[in-house]
Amino acid sequence: MTWNGSATGGGSRIPQWSRADRAKAAVGLMAGWVALLWVLEAVDLATGGALDTYGITPRETSELAHLVPAAFLHFDFGHVASNSVPLLVLGVLAALGGIRRFLGVVALIVVADGLGVWLFSPSYSNTAGASGVVFGLFGYLVTRGFVNRRPLEVAVGLAVAALWGGTMLAGLVPQAGVSWAAHLFGLLAGAGAAFLLRRRPGPAALPA
């Protein structure tokens, strides 16, 4: 972490994160997140699937409390494995823009995606997994650069679209055992987060 040269009224300086600091924080955060998913699935396996009950069953009021935990739970290790790499890569790319902004993006995606699943998934289904967040981060990264008008972010978004675009489009097609609703509403929530949490230009400097 570095410090800028300006001081506040009390004489203290404002800390500034270097690119290396941001990269370390982003990688550390996402590595910890992915590790948590594997630990939770190990606990689920050891308890005979006890955590699966915290998935989202549509249109039952009590299930609204499961909107957040459902994004961290999976039904088997294959399910976790399929989400781990894209979550890690997309999460790191998004978190490089700032951890606080990233947490806001993720919170919006988790809640909006969970509500979409709760409202539109088939009755008696049980939905859990990080794929909604994966689709949300994809939507956020692809949209962010155009919203912020930053060439580097546009380039990152285009690279992400080229690498995972086909997979994401395939994930929106209804198929047995896969929640198209989680994918669709995660994608929409991520794109929406790019607009709601866009970088706003600072005040213009005026001569005295």
Model-level pTM? 0.89
DSSP secondary structure letters along 47-95: TTSGGGGGSBPTT-GGGGGGTTGGGG--SSHHHHHHHHHHHHHHHHHHH
Instruction: For residue range 59-89, list pLDDT tens digits in order.
Output: 999 999 999 999 999 999 999 999 999 999 9
Q: How many residues does the chain have?
A: 208
Q: Is 60 exceeded by the pLDDT of residue 23?
A: yes
Coil, strand or helix at 146: helix
pLDDT value for 202: 54
- Chain centroid offset of residue 134 CA: 6
pLDDT of residue 181: 96
145 closest CA partner among 187, 100, 93, 106: 93
Is the pLDDT at 11 greater than 90? The verdict is no
The span from the CA of 51 to the CA of 75, in Å, is 9
Q: Which of 191, 161, 179 shows the shortest CA–CA distance to 118? A: 179
The answer on pLDDT for 5 being more than 80 is: no
Q: What is the DSSP letter of 178?
A: B
pLDDT recorded at residue 177: 87
Place of tokens 């409390």: 65
User: What gap in Å lies between CA 165 and CA 138, rounded to an integer?
Assistant: 9
- Cβ-count burial 142-175 (b if 16+ within 10 Å, e if not): bbbbebbeeeebbebbeebeeebeeebeebeeee
Tens of pLDDT, residue by residue over 158-191, are: 999 999 999 999 999 988 889 999 999 999 999 9
> Which tokens belong to 173?
């097609």
Give the percent of the chain with pLDDT over 90. Answer: 82
Residue 15's pLDDT band (boundaries 50, 70, 90)?
Answer: low
